[in-house]
């Protein structure tokens, strides 16, 4: 169950933002085995004064088209799968909506499966619910 947050500067069209979210979901389905309909995604837009980044950190040339992607996932994937995921995101988003790969910054946050509740106060991914009953 990925929870995806995308941060970018204000001013992109609805079509652009939709392409970003659709592309991320496609990459998750192709490389992370995310099931159909497991889609929880947010876009946050910022004024220039509230969007600060280094234009050349680690020798990567970024500009104001930078898209910062933070994805919270279960801690069940190995390094090779993560590398494939990052590469797939860059491949897809460079095609549509046309983001330069240098402008795609990804941060993956991994959590234990029992750290999720999809509603009703139940830890659906745990064998024992947070309240102590069997799930």
Q: Which of 91, 75, 77, 83 is nearest to 24 (CA)?
A: 91
* Residue 129 lies inside a defined structural domain of this protein: no
The pTM of this model reads 0.88
Q: Provide the CATH number for the domain around residue 24.
A: 3.30.429.10
Residue pointed to by tokens 């933002």: 17
The answer to the question of residue 105 being in a domain is yes
Q: Which of 2, 35, 101, 112 is catalytic?
A: 2
| Alpha helix positions (H), 9-110 | 14-31, 79-95
How many domains does the structure of the chain reveal? Answer: 1
Residue 82 lies inside a defined structural domain of this protein? yes
- Per-residue model confidence (pLDDT) at position 41: 98
The tens-digit pLDDT sequence of the chain (135 residues) is 799 999 999 999 999 999 999 999 999 999 999 999 999 999 999 999 999 999 999 999 999 999 999 999 999 999 999 999 999 999 999 999 999 999 999 999 999 888 888 888 988 888 654 454 433
- Residue 14 sits in which domain range? 3-115
- Asked if residue 62 is part of any domain, the answer here is yes
Asked if the structure places residue 133 within a domain, the reply is no
Task: Tell me whether residue 2 is one of the annotated catalytic residues.
Answer: yes
Beta bridge partners of 46: 9
The first and second tokens of residue 132, run together, are: 């102590």
In a domain, 120, yes or no: no
Instruction: Give, rounded to a whole angstrom, the gap between the first and last alpha carbons of the chain.
Output: 17
Give domain status of residue 123, yes or no: no
């Amino acid at each position: 169950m990925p929870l995806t947050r995308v941060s970018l500067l204000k001013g992109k069209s609805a079509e652009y933002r939709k392409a970003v979210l659709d592309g991320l979901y496609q990459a998750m389905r192709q490389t992370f085995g995310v099931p159909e309909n497991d889609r929880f995604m947010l876009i946050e837009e910022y004024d220039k004064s509230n969007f600060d980044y280094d234009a050349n950190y680690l020798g990567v040339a970024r500009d104001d088209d930078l898209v910062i992607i933070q994805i919270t996932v279960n801690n069940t994937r190995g390094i090779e799968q993560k590398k494939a995921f990052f590469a797939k995101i860059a491949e897809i988003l460079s095609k549509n909506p046309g983001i330069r790969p240098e402008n795609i910054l990804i941060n993956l946050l991994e959590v234990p499966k029992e750290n999720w509740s999809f509603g009703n106060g139940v830890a659906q991914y745990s064998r024992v619910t947070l309240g102590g009953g069997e799930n």
